[in-house]
Amino acid sequence: MSSLFSGWNETYVEQMKKYDVVILAFTRWDQQSSSATLSFAKEWSKSHRVFYVDKPYSLKDLLSSSTDQGIRKRFQTIFFGRNRFTNVETGFSNFTVLTPGIVFPVNFLPSGFLYKLINGFNEFLLLRQIKRMLKKFDVQDYIYINHFYPTMLPVISDTNYKPLLNIYHSQHDIKLTKYLQRHGVLAEEKIINQVDIICTSSKNLYRQFSKHSKDVHYLPNAADFEMFNSAIDSDEKPFDLESSGSTPIILFAGYLSRIRIDYSLLIELCEAYPHFLVVVVGSYDEKDVVEFKLDQIHNLLLMGNRRHEAIPRYIKSAKVTIIPYLCNMLNKSLFPMKLNEYLALGKPVVTTDFSEDLHAYEEVITITKSINEFIDSVGVLVNEKDEVLIQQRIKRASENKWADRISHLENVIEKKIQTLKK
């Protein structure tokens, strides 16, 4: 227990820590790419009961994504309410997922009466299912976290089901988030006066929210250190990289998108080192592949999504890991999970200077100011074998585990609950 709480009655503190956690997530629990929300749920469920409320599917989702595997496996639940709860076992923890029923599409509507009416009805439907969940699992004291989904049920204020605290967690600059920018900006402005605590993943977001609220806390993304670090002694390559032989691998683990990735940099990197294999593990936009002719680059391998548990072996196979982000307003508000995941395996990291948050790591990563500097740094580091530096990277990652983030947030929560009780 932090010294911040020294002198408290220990029994009282332990009682406070017995609250349950309900998380409404903008990302669904079983999406293929990694998610900070899911990482929070996994880690928190080691010490608390956690209920993960999936983002509801809308009628538009069903009509436009009939082949979506997520929809297909949830079909009976969405339409008939069968097996609404899923117990997810992670090997070291478990949490419960609530799959909500269908809602009406509203994002296309302009702000105004009709949007408020239909969105309000959607929130009513979702809250009704959350209430049933709270009753079914006999949830008494709980905290409610809206994880970057301010347009849907930002707080729970029902007198009979009111949480100990309402928390909002911001992950990106919402003005630059394609789906949420239409109604999310106004929703975030309102949420500031509704929630008890705001968490942000970047210093830029922290400053933005701190202008309007005193209860803002910087909570940057971290890594599942043990899972990633455990691959460090493995010499086994992923099956789809076995044919690469001794070819040096430069790896990016993440989503390829024109609003995030500097494609000019990525293309020039491939051209500068034709004898290297540049591997991208993660989803990508097919339109970008066609427009930027990425499929015509002989040494660029687009792997697509892989299970989060499989990513460490891909990183282990790399000589150098990269973060080729654009230096724009969206990325200025990002703290990439991949940074500490790369470092957990001791890998050299070359990144553009897209966010001030990176500079807390500048002793163990290479932050570049230009395309030429980025490319030159990759060429130098591909042969780097400094064992001292490798251990420094691993140590830095070990200091940024999800357990550390949860511990910090629990201290904030306990202090806030104590303040509200006065």
- pTM, full prediction: 0.88
Residue among 331, 341, 75, 68 at smallest CA distance from 224:
341
CATH 3.40.50.2000 residue spans of the chain = 3-222+402-421, 225-398
**What pLDDT was estimated at residue 179?**
81
Class of domain 225-398: alpha beta
Residue type, 293: K
Token pair belonging to 220? 């940057």
Which stretches of the chain score pLDDT less than 50? 1-13, 15-16
Class of domain 3-222+402-421: alpha beta
Tens-place pLDDT, residues 49-72: 999 999 998 888 777 655 567 777
What gap in Å lies between CA 318 and CA 308, rounded to an integer? 17
**What pLDDT was estimated at residue 5?**
35
**What pLDDT was estimated at residue 45?**
93
Tens-place pLDDT, residues 116-146: 999 999 999 999 999 999 999 999 999 999 9
Q: SS3 string of the chain?
A: CCHHHCCCCHHHHHHHCCCEEEEEECCCCCCCCCCHHHHHHHHHCCCCCEEEECCCCEHHHHHHCCCCHHHHHHHHHHHHCCCCEEEEECCCCEEEEECCCCECCCCCCCCCHHHHHHHHHHHHHHHHHHHHHHHHCCCCCEEEEEECCCCCCCCCCCHHHCCCEEEEEECCCHHHCCCCHHHHHHHHHHHCCCCCEEEECCHHHHHHHHCCCCCEEECCCCECHHHHHHHHHCCCCCHHHHHHCCCCEEEEECCECCCCECHHHHHHHHHHCCCCEEEEEECECHHHHHHCCHHHCCCEEEEECCCHHHHHHHHHCCCEEEECECCCHHHHCCCCHHHHHHHHCCCCEEEECCCHHHHHHCCCCEEECCHHHHHHHHHHHCCCCCHHHHHHHHHHHHCCEHHHHHHHHHHHHHHHHHHHHC
- 64-69 long-range contacts (CB < 8 A, ≥24 apart) are none
**What pLDDT was estimated at residue 67?**
54
**What pLDDT was estimated at residue 78?**
78
